[in-house]
Every structure is written in structure tokens, then in C-alpha cells.
A and B are shown apart, each in its own frame.
Chain A
């Protein structure tokens, strides 16, 4: 077990290294640089001396490999760099914005599972009936609707028909949970729709596989109520593939957050990425993507380790 964890953690290093290198190269190809963007005056007037001074100060005139090793040295020491456009260390900004995005992600998953799991189970139990068909239409819709468009429509329906707009001022989940919930619930539902569609389809297919197993028939033949059979026998065994896929759907959540935060004006990491890309603040973009990458890899590792807990048959060599 410990050897397994150690090996998995070791494999993170080359992946992160490769990710960093790819990112670094990509960011340097970007046209326009931050020195230019920062010094441009109100009417786009540019003072060449000022630009040059800034380029020297930011180390943009050093050879690429010098910049590369400097950046890597900082990353290894846990320093994500200093964002010039935000005039703050990248790590601080990330830490600030992570709360919104994380609470949005958690709420999305929670709301999605709340209705996706029951729908998937019902669809499996009543396979082929009209209920199954209706559920299939609902999930097919979730896979086809572009999230950002659904976000726009939902936001404007709220404003126009219900005359209700989400609270504008951002509040922390910890200081004022109710207001924060009001602000996050609709974006979370929108992001969660796609997530839920995938989850409920998966739940249906895994449940169908499990339900045809011998031990389910045995349980039924012993006269157990079908509710007990489903909850106690079928569901725990169907849970493993569901968990696997939910881990891999982390990307869906991040993509959802990038666009939905933009539409609902939530000050999260997604909105920050777009702002930084537009400001050509590549230190910031690199920092965010590296952090996201590391986060995803640790998350997948965590899910893998959870397998052993949920299914005692799995052993790590």
C-alpha cells in the first residue's frame, strides 16, 4: 500500500514537469506582452523607454532558458510567482478565488448526484418503460445543451419572469452561508446538469449489470423487499464505476466553472483565467493551470485510494 502510494506520487513529478514545460513554451509564443499592456496609455500611446525598463525589471529580456529555469526554480520552492496585472502573488489570488470555485464545484456535484443517482436507478429498474424513455430524454438534453447558453437563459428567465436576480455582492460561504447559497445555487444547477446527465446514464448501465447478478437473484428469492435489495445489495456494488467516472469529470466541472462564472459574474478561478489570458499575464495563467493540474492529479490519486475502502477485494501491490 505505502509502496503503491509512493510510486503514484513519484509519477506525478514527470507529468508536472512536462506540463510546466508545455505551458511555459506556449505562454512565450503569445503575441503581445505584459510590459506593453501595462505601459499602454489611455489612448494606446506607448513610451518605448518605459516598456524597455519594465521588460528588464520583469526579466523578459533574458534568454528563454534563463527565464525557464528561473520559473522552475520558483515552482519547485512552491512559489507560483507574482501576478503583475493583479499586483499580488499568484498563490494569494488563487487562494482567494479558490473558495468560490470550490464551493461552486461541490454544490454542483451534490445537486447533480441528488437527482442523477435516483433517476439512474429508476431508469434501470424500469428499463424499457416510458419512465426510462423520459429519463433518457432528460439526460440526452444534458449532454447536448451548451452550458453557457443554458446559463444565460436561466439567468434571464430569473430576472424577467421571476423578477429575482442573484445577490450581486459576493459573500463568503463561511460568513453568510444563506446569501452565498442563493448566489451559487443556479450556476451550480447549470454546471450540474451536464454532470448529472453523465452520472445518471452511468448509474443506469452499472445498475443493469449488477441487477442481473446471481447474488441479487438470491436476495430476491429469499423474499427480501426490492427496496432493500436495491439499497443494500445492488447500489454499493454499482458505486465503484460511478466513483471512477466522477473523478474523471473534474475537467467538466472546471470547464463549466470557467464559462458559468463569467456569465453569473462570480469572482472565481474560472473568471480569473479569462481575465489573465486577456491581460497577457502569463505568470498568472501558468500558476493557475499548474495548480489545477496538481489538484486534478491528487484528486485522481485520492479516488484510486478510496477504491480499497469501498471494495475490500481491491488490493494495492
Chain B
């Protein structure tokens, strides 16, 4: 007997879905998410547009972020030297604000995404290890977490950047440190309930190694919590970077960031309020979009947190 080829194909498809099927699933999944959580979908759409715009900064804007293109502090919709329209005007050095927003967004989003990514990853591992190994390791790591939680995040970040230099890498690390402690605390309490589960007990009883218990049981089951913490942290990381750079203790000019674009805002507000309003409004809009998306994501990924908004 020969098996019809189409049937064989579908059997193979059951174990490893084809790309077409995956795409269809992704599409229905996305549509379902958009219908159930319109605000979350709106946030995601805004984010997608911002990320694309920032990545394509060089194609979108004809100007360079560090070149003077007009007289200083020109109002929005005024003209540059070579006769182009400056949509949001120019800043105190006559540089195009739209171009600086696009390029500044690269820095701000890079910091805003990598810092929580590093912080949440380390925090998750620390939290899980703390819950799994317990005893002395738990005690010591929790005292470290206590210590970090005691420090106001911005002050700690300031101390780190002043000590190690005002480079993007140091700013990322400084902000990541802030995320580690909070994540470790939350993930630890979640993982503690996991370690009491029967399947973990069964794994331990059959002699499964620590490494495997952590990687196969504890880590996957903590992912939902970590992903939610990650999205929530992006918004605060972007704001924190802005505050640091605004104070002159973060990203340094000429590299633009949404924060350091505001460092002269107070001085020039009288001449051109748009210098201050554009970056601030951008930060607000982006963080709002992230929070809307994060809230909806939390509802989907972590049903226990539902209703706690």
C-alpha cells in the first residue's frame, strides 16, 4: 500500500508546521490580539512606526544631525538655508529638530531596549537561581538585591556614569543595574511557587540535574513574568536616560538623544518653545505607546495579573 503523498505531507506538517501555516497563525493571532486589545494594538503600531522611522533616519531626512542648516531657533515650518521646509524648526545651533529627533531616537531607543534586556535577563537568572538553590546563595543574593533596591535608581545611575564615563555602554549598564534588583525580587517569588510544583519535585526525584531543572522547567515557566517586566521597564529606561542626559550626566553631545536635546531647553524656552516641546512630547508619546502595549501584553501573558492595572 502506498500512502497518498498529500497525506504524508500533512503528517509531516503536523510535527513541524510549514512556513505558510505559521504565517497564517501569526496573522490570526495578531488580528485576535488587535480585536481584544485595541489600545495595545494601537501602542504596538505607534512603536513600529517610530522604530522604522528611527532606523530609516538617513533616508527620511535630507539633513545631518550635527550640521547647522538655518539661523538659530527658527520656528516650525520655516525654511532652511537651501530652501527646504523645517517641519519642527531648528534648535539653538540652527540644526534641524526633526533630523535630531530621528537620530536621537536611535540612541534613546537603543538604550531604552538594551538596558532592560540585560537587566531583566540577569535579574531573571538571579531570581530563579535564588529560588532553586536557596540557603546561603539565596540569603547573599537577596541582601545584594536589598542593597540595590535601597538606592534611588537615578542617583545610582548618576554615580555609575560619573565613575565610569559618559559613553552609551556605561549608560546602558547604569540603567540595567536598576532593573536587575526589581526583576530578581519578582521572579524569585514567582519561581518559589514553581519549585513547589509536583513536576519539579518529580524531576528532582528522578535525579535531573540542576541545570536541566532550571532550563527546562523554571525558566520557561517564568518567561511570562520576565517578558512583562521587560516591556514595563522599557518606558522607565527611556525616561531615565532622558533625565540623566538632561542633567548632563548621560549621553554627551554631539551625539543626540531625546534627553540631551532638552538640556538647553530651559534657557531657550523663551526664544523658541518648540525646542523643548518636540523632544518631550516625543518621549511622552513613545512611553505611552509602550505602556499601552505592555498593559495588553500583560493581560495576555499573565492572566493572574489581570485586572491589576
Contacts and interface: CB of A to CB of B under 8 A. Distances in A.
B158 A277 contact: yes
Contacts of B269: 152, 156
A145 B164 CA distance: 29
Interface stretch (A16-24, A85-93, A181-189): A16-24
A148 B284 contact: no
A149 B235 CA distance: 15
Contacts of A146: 239, 242-243, 280, 283-284, 287
Interface string A128-159: 00000000000011011111111011011000
- Interface of B, secondary structure class, is helix
Contacts of B284: 141, 144-146, 149
Interface of B: 143-144, 146-147, 150-155, 158-160, 162-165, 235, 239, 242-243, 246-247, 249, 262, 265-266, 269-270, 273, 276-277, 279-280, 283-285, 287-288, 291-292, 307-309
B143 A27 contact: no
A18 B235 CA distance: 29
Contacts of B262: 148-149, 152
B147 A19 contact: yes
Given A15-B150, A140-B291, A293-B150, A31 B165 contact: yes
A140 B287 CA distance: 10
A263 B143 CA distance: 35
B288 A144 contact: yes
A26 B150 contact: no
A259 B165 CA distance: 20
A30 B291 contact: no
13 contacts: A11-B146, A26-B159, A29-B164, A144-B285, A146-B243, A149-B262, A152-B276, A153-B276, A201-B309, A209-B307, A259-B246, A273-B155, A285-B159
A31 B166 CA distance: 11
A148 B291 contact: no
Contacts of B152: 251, 254-255, 258, 292, 296
A259 B154 contact: yes
Contacts of A235: none
B291 to A, nearest CB: 6
Given A31-B165, A152-B262, A255-B154, A205 B159 contact: no
A46 interface: no
- Interface of A, secondary structure class, is helix
A262 interface: yes
Interface in A57-93: none
**Interface size range on A against B:** 35 or more
Given A15-B147, A29-B163, A292 B280 contact: no
A293 B151 contact: yes
A297 interface: yes
Interface in A153-184: 153, 155-156, 160
Contacts of A145: 280, 284, 287
Contact of A148 (B164, B243, B307): B243
B155 A144 contact: no
Interface in A241-279: 251, 254-255, 258-259, 262-263, 273-274, 277
A277 B159 contact: yes
Nearest to B158: A277
A157 B152 CA distance: 30
A143 B163 CA distance: 30
With a 10 A CB-CB cut-off, give which of B147, B165, B284 has the most chain A CB atoms.
B147
Given A144-B284, A146-B242, A259-B243, A289 B154 contact: no
B150 A19 contact: yes
Nearest to A139: B309
B288 to A, nearest CB: 4
Interface in A1-52: 11, 14-15, 18-19, 22-23, 26-27, 29-31
Contact of A205 (B143, B151, B307): B307
Interface in A267-317: 273-274, 277, 285, 289, 292-293, 296-297
A282 to B, nearest CB: 9
A67 to B, nearest CB: 16
With a 10 A CB-CB cut-off, give which of B150, B151, B279 has the most chain A CB atoms.
B150
Nearest to B259: A146
Contacts of B308: 205
